Amino acid sequence: MAKDPVCGMNVDEKGSAKAQYKGKSYYFCSPTCQWAFDRDPERFVGKNPKS
């Protein structure tokens, strides 16, 4: 299980939206959260990153 870095929701890595940033994978509960991350990833990096 991974955490959506935008909203903190637990998400299944399989089938969820995904983005790469600075060599790490981030998973999202919805396209809206991915959009917010893509607009300003520095705002969310370190908040709830996938381990």
Domain ranges of the chain: 2-44
What is the pTM assigned to this prediction?
A: 0.83
Give me the pLDDT at residue 26, please. 96
Q: What is the mean pLDDT of each run of 10 residues along the chain (51 residues)?
A: 95 94 96 97 74 42
Give me the pLDDT at residue 47, please. 58
Give me the pLDDT at residue 43, please. 95
Between CA 4 and CA 37 the distance in angstroms is 10
HSE, CB side, 13 Å, CA atoms: give it for residue 43. 10
Query: What is the DSSP-derived secondary structure letter of residue 48?
Result: S
Domain 2-44 belongs to what topology? Ribosomal Protein L24e; Chain: T; (2.30.170)
Contacts of 20 (CB under 8 A, 6+ apart): 26
Give me the pLDDT at residue 49, please. 46
